[in-house]
Structure formats: C-alpha cells, structure tokens
Amino acid sequence: MARPIDAKDRAAVKRMHAAGKSRNDIARAIKRSPSTVSKIAAELGLSFDRAAEVAAATAVRKADLAQRRAAFAERLQDIAEREADRLEAPTLYWEWGGKDHKYAEKTADLPIPGDRRAIMSTIATAVDRSLKLVPPKDDGAAESRSVIGDLMAGLARDYAERHGGPPAEFVTDDQAAEDDGDA
C-alpha cells in the first residue's frame, strides 16, 4: 500500500519547487514517485510546466545555429572566390621521377584544362552549399510585380468606372456568361 502524503512531503515539494528543482529531482530527494510529486504540486497549485523556458532555449539554439550556418556559408563563399582567382593565375606544375629521380618544375600561364575543370567543380560545390545554408533574400522582383499588378488593377477599375464595364480583353468567363444571360 502506498505511503500517505503528509505535511512534510508537501513542505518539501513547495520548498524545492520554489528553488527551481524539477519534478524528478524532487521525487528522488523525498523518495516518492514523480506522479506523487505531481499530485502534491497540483494540490498546492504548483506546475512543472517549462514550456516557456523550453521555447526560449529552443529559440536561442535556433538563432545560434542560424548564425553558425551564416558564418560557414561565408567561409564557403570565400573558398569559391579564392578558387575563382586560381582559374586565371599562373600555376606551378612539378614532377619527380624518371630513372635518375630528377625533380622538374614548370610554371604555366593558366591551369591545364583538367585542373580548370576541378577548380570549377570546387567553386560550384562551395557556392551551391553556401546558397543552401543561407538562401539569398528576395531581390524585390516580387514586390515590383505586385506594384505593377496593383497598377493594372487600378487602371482596369478606372476604365470600368468611366466606360461602364471592363475592357473586352479583361472580361472574365463568369462576366461573359452573365452578360449572355441578360441578353
């Protein structure tokens, strides 16, 4: 049979709750089950709901991750730019070998085509990953399109007011069906 809840348990729960202890920590401290601690807390009008704290911590964590992603995206963009500079830079080629194990080097004005392909691949990968980490913001084109749409709608309303209806090319199928029914 379960041990009855006494004033000592209630006082301990109230004190530890005020100290910010979790339900499970209190249960271990007073050697009672977590459900008993929840029952005592409910009787005392206390709650272990930490949704606000968890939400705040989650928001902070998300903000930290967003900042880290942005910093890493910037690093990837820097890599892409450095690699792009290498496409046009003189390149040192060397070899070590032959029967005499001789070292030879040559500086080419530009990287050879295979190296240029590899550099382009590195640039493309770095830029692609950078854009996935931090997608570009809208350049305002959508806003411009909505302004033009609003302007066209305003002109169509003005025309309709002056001429008693929309221009023929602006008549919708629903309006045309209504007009046919009136005739």
- Per-residue pLDDT reduced to its tens digit, 113-151: 999 999 999 999 999 999 999 888 766 666 666 777 777
Residues 59, 129, single domain; the answer is: yes
Report the pLDDT value the prediction gives residue 106, as an integer from 0 to 100.
95
Average pLDDT over residues 103-112: 94
Give the domain extent around 36: 7-48
Percent of the chain with pLDDT over 70: 86
Alpha helices for 31-183 (secondary structure H): 34-43, 51-87, 113-133, 141-163, 173-182
CA–CA separation, 2 vs 23, rounded Å?
Answer: 19
| pLDDT tens per residue across span 45-95 | 998 887 777 888 899 999 999 999 999 999 999 999 999 999 999 999 999
Q: Is residue 122 part of a domain?
A: yes
Residues 120, 91, single domain; the answer is: yes
Q: Is residue 31 part of a domain?
A: yes
Domain boundary among 114, 133, 152: 133
Report the pLDDT value the prediction gives residue 65, as an integer from 0 to 100.
93
Average pLDDT over residues 2-20: 91
In the predicted structure, residue 181 carries a pLDDT above the cut 60? no
Q: Is residue 70 part of a domain?
A: yes
- With left for phi above 0 and alpha for psi between -120 and 50, is residue 101 left, alpha or beta? left
Residues 65, 120, single domain; the answer is: yes
Number of domains within the chain: 2
Q: Is residue 79 part of a domain?
A: yes
Average pLDDT over residues 143-170: 75
Q: CA dihedral in degrees (129, 132, 134, 137; nearest 10)?
A: 130
Residues 63, 126, single domain; the answer is: yes
Report the pLDDT value the prediction gives residue 71, as an integer from 0 to 100.
94
Q: Is 13 exposed, middle or buried, given 0-12, 13-18 or 19+ CB atoms closer than 10 A?
A: buried
Q: Is residue 179 part of a domain?
A: no
Residues 66, 19, single domain; the answer is: no
**CA 43, chain centre distance (Å):** 43
Q: Which two tokens stand for residue 171?
A: 């008549």
Pick from 105, 109, 116: nearest CA to 90: 109
Q: Which two tokens stand for residue 66?
A: 């967003």
Residues 61, 112, single domain; the answer is: yes
Are 80 and 120 a contacting pair, CB within 8 Å?
no
Give this prediction's pTM: 0.49
Residues 113, 62, single domain; the answer is: yes
What's the chain's average pLDDT?
A: 86
Are 64 and 56 a contacting pair, CB within 8 Å?
no
CA–CA separation, 47 vs 43, rounded Å?
Answer: 10
Q: Is residue 84 part of a domain?
A: yes
Q: Is residue 183 part of a domain?
A: no
Report the pLDDT value the prediction gives residue 8, as an integer from 0 to 100.
93
